[in-house]
Amino acid sequence: MEETAGAVNEENAGGQFLVRRVVVANQLGLHARPAGALAQLAQSFTSDISLECDGQEVDAKSILDLLTLAAAQGTRLDLKARGEDAESALDRIEKLFKERFGEGK
């Protein structure tokens, strides 16, 4: 069974960040089009939103930052959000990953 989103949903010790583990499931990875869709969606929220992979954390509202992750298919990412609409932001962004950014494979 292929994993597209993880069960990680926890707050840090300060209770400020919500974290969910997501997996890049689309065949071409987090290339320009899905990164653009992700950044555009993240920008619609007031919360601080970031993605972390192998110790590298980037601003999810910046397409250029997202592209520096070079996240290929199967890459696991920690999606983090802090702010009043953090839960909603994580729900919507996680859905993008689960739906493979509309790319089918």
Question: What are the tokens at 13?
Answer: 């010790």
Beta strands in 12-75 (DSSP E): 18-23, 48-53, 56-59
21 DSSP β-pair partners: 78
Catalytic positions? 31
Crossing angle for the helix pair 86-98 and 32-43, to the nearest 10 degrees: 160
What order do you get walking across the sheet with 76-82 strand by strand? 5-11, 18-23, 76-82, 48-53, 56-59
A 10 A CB-CB count for 67 gives 16
